[in-house]
Amino acid sequence: MNERRNDPLPGQHFSLDESGTIPESERRDPRPGLAFDTTAATHPLEEEERLDHPAEAAVVASLARPRKRRWGLLTLLAGSLGLGALEAGGTLYAASLGGDWLSGAWSVLILLALALGARALGRELWRLKRLRRHGRLRQRLEGLDEATPAKALELAEALRDQLKLDRDHPHWQGFLSAHESHHDGRETRQLLAHHLLVPRDREARRLVSRMSGDTAILVAISPLTLVDMALVAWRNLALIDRLARLYGLELGYASRLRLFRAVLYNMAFAGASEMASEASMELLSMNLAGRLSARAGQGMGVGLLSARLGLRTLRLTRPLPFDEREAPRISDLRRELWNRLRRLEQEEPKR
């Protein structure tokens, strides 16, 4: 009895058979109680079967991109301008007949304001049209590698028109002198990138580096959080405008909002491979920021965010998509940003 109490082994004892075989009566299936036939054929679910459940359909609908409401607000604005113009015109006519010059002056002023509003609305619609045309041209240029020589030259003309280059522009003349009639789409793409876009890419990269560095320094030396937010918003919008002008886009209020929304959407849903490749660089940036003061580290974080916003805008506004090896990365600007903030901290004790 005492031997059983002091036995550290469990209550069930096992005996080892020297032969290494287990009797058929003691064999147990190690699989769970419900065993599946592994040799049975499998049939993948169809897309319609996956969405039969209303909850799944609602989730898929919520993840889809929102529907575009193009004509509702436009019709409201156009109708308001038209009715306002008719009302002001009728008031002006009645004032001219009755000799009420004050009402006539107010009517003229209202007509001028409505004319300015209609002009601004027309410019916004024209800029939105150019932005949509830019997107369509970008989609066409994505298939430039498979285009015939004649089609490739036609796309090159469309790109020249998008960049607002004259036919005697040095960059366009350099492309024409290097282009031959036997060049296929891939070769034409390389020539377009080298002669038309590489100079603008260099200027765009310098612009992103300079403005993100300036934003980081302004945040580092600013004592007020509200001022920081205003500076970051103002400089980021200015950065988007300048990058768009480099590639032939003139942004208005609506087109700027649409482009800004596209940039944020692209930043939020970036490719998983790209985010994984940047993860190690983000750890490096945290290590570098730890060597700075609190304000300078905050400035570096805001500067990196502005730089990433600028690079995303650069990728979206560039008519010809980047090759994977040529695309600018945030790691190229991180060291420059850290060096500027480090120099700023070293100069502060001397002042």
Same domain? For 210 and 333 the reply is: yes
Domain check: are 337 and 201 in the same one?
A: yes
| 299 occurs within a structural domain | yes
Residue 173 has pLDDT above 80, yes or no: yes
Residues 267 and 346 in one domain: yes
Dihedral (Cα; 309, 310, 313, 314), 10-degree rounding: -150
Assess if residue 109 is contained within a domain: yes
Please count the structural domains in the chain: 2
Please check whether residues 121 and 204 belong to one and the same domain: no
In a domain, 152, yes or no: no
Could you tell me what percent of the chain has a pLDDT over 90?
2
277 or 159: which leads in pLDDT: 159
Three-class DSSP category at 329: coil
Q: Please report whether residue 48 resides in a domain.
A: no
Return the pLDDT at 181: 83
Q: Averaged over 180-188, what is the pLDDT? A: 85
Better-scored residue on pLDDT, 173 or 270: 173
Could you list the residue range(s) of the whole structural domain that residue 110 is in? 81-128
- Please report whether residue 267 resides in a domain: yes
Asked whether residue 264 is assigned to any structural domain, the reply reads yes
Report if residue 175 sits inside a domain: no
Q: Judge if 346 and 202 occupy the same domain.
A: yes
Note whether 213 and 110 are same-domain residues: no
pLDDT at 270: 52
pLDDT value at residue 316: 83
More confident residue, 334 or 320: 320
CB atoms under 10 Å from CB of 125, counted, come to 15
The pTM assigned to this predicted structure is 0.62
**pLDDT score at 60:** 41
For residues 316 and 321, give the distance between their C-alpha atoms in angstroms, rounded to a whole number. Answer: 8
Q: Between 131 and 36, name the one with better pLDDT.
A: 131
For residue 211, pLDDT beyond 50: yes
Is the domain of 209 the same as that of 341?
yes
For the cut 50, the answer to whether the pLDDT of residue 148 exceeds it is: yes
From CA 303, how far away is CA 310, in angstroms rounded? 10
Res 6: pLDDT = 57
pLDDT of 248: 84
Q: Does residue 326 sit in the same domain as residue 208?
A: yes
Q: How far apart are CA 115 and CA 168, in angstroms?
A: 38
- Whether 38 shows a pLDDT value over 70: the answer reads no
Residue 207 lies in a domain: yes
CA distances from 226 to 79, 214, 219, 223 (A): 39, 17, 10, 9
Regarding whether 319 and 242 lie in a shared domain, the answer is: yes
User: Would you report the helix, strand and coil content of the chain in percent, each value rounded to 5?
Assistant: 75, 0, 25
What DSSP state is assigned to residue 30?
-
